[in-house]
Amino acid sequence: MGFRDTALLAALLWPLGAGAAPPPFEHRLTPRPVAEHTWMVEGRPEELSEDNGGDIANSAFIVTGHGVLVIDTGSTLAYGHALRAAIAGVTDQPVRWVLNTHHHPDHVFGNGAFPEAEIAALPGTRAAFRRHGEAFRDTLYQRLGDAARGTGLVPASVDLAAGERRFGGYPLRLLALRGHSGSDLAVLDPATGVLFTGDLVFHHRAPTTPHSPGIAVWRDDLATLAALDFKVLVPGHGPVARDPGPIAATDAWLAWLHRRLRAGAERGATANQVIDAPLPEAIAAWPLARYELTRSVSHFYADYERRYLWGEPAATTK
């Protein structure tokens, strides 16, 4: 059943005289302090579903003293409003800035809950949202049903660039990378040592690869992150860490994925054979491991076949 059918059914079943339509998904968000003036809201290690209302990615915010800066706003308008309420429970400072780490729907479709804020992203992220935003919105309604009600296209309107930028006098270091989505923002707070990686780093969850320019590119970005002087790591998915372990784990997954795809291509295995072969015990323990392997095969395997089976160049396996 599509969103329109779901919404119509809900309207027909809602009692006459009850007033407004029933509220969308009720998120219960708990901000967790990770450093001075800094909080994170952790998403569930799941895929988008009506049961979780799209609450699968991490959001974070910094109370700068000049206003609140939010990093990623979640997958729906309802989530964005819940995040806004959670922030209000921590501080009475207004939300003045929103940074989108990349264009994927679980990180940007809560933007509409912050109409007064400056919403900013890398130029490549803004361009990717223009290309994919409508399709992503349609997918959200199909996957989340009524939980997505009211969610619309609210893109970032301000370009970010690599380097130091001050937000009301509060300095942050911005890094422009691209391994996960083609345009990925990482943010380092020199004052607290908190590194916000977006989906360049997954913790206790298998990484997603839909728009990655290649495994080697992503691994180079991880090396860049690992070389930074940070104390706390806030990944795009999964719990906060106080060591570089999640970077190493994400890199290990990508290295294994490359070996799996290359070995399959070299022996002429079909995509289904690559997917269905047994997983190593350590890999199988990751949430959504088989699911994300299946998706990664669909994203990458044709290129691996071109390079390792037929001897042709392929951009994603450089």
pLDDT at 314: 64
DSSP code for 205:
S
Low-confidence ranges of the chain (pLDDT < 50): 1-20, 317-318
Which residues make beta-bridge pairs with 39? 33, 61
Contacts of 138 (CB under 8 A, 6+ apart): none
Q: Which two tokens stand for residue 87?
A: 């922030």
DSSP code for 309:
I
CA distance 207 to 210: 10
CA distance 230 to 3: 43
pLDDT at 24: 80
Please, how many CA atoms are within 13 Å of residue 161, restricted to the half-sphere of its CB? 1
Q: Which two tokens stand for residue 58?
A: 């991490």
Q: How many CB atoms lie within 10 A of CB 14?
A: 13
Q: Which two tokens stand for residue 49?
A: 């579903």
pLDDT at 86: 97
pLDDT at 23: 58
pLDDT at 22: 56
Strand intervals (E) in the chain: 32-35, 38-41, 59-63, 68-71, 95-99, 118-121, 158-159, 163-167, 170-177, 184-189, 194-202, 232-237
pLDDT at 316: 53
Q: How many CB atoms lie within 10 A of CB 274?
A: 21
b/e sequence 21-31, b meaning 16+ C-beta within 10 Å: eeebbebebeb
3-state secondary structure string, 147-185?
Answer: HHCCCCCCCCCEECCCEEEEECCEEEEEEEECCCCCCEE
Which residues make beta-bridge pairs with 175? 186
pLDDT at 4: 36
Contacts of 4 (CB under 8 A, 6+ apart): none
Query: What are 191-221's pLDDT values in tens digits?
Result: 999 999 999 999 999 999 999 999 999 999 9
DSSP-assigned letters across all residues of 101-126: SSS-HHHHTTGGG-TTSEEEE-HHHH
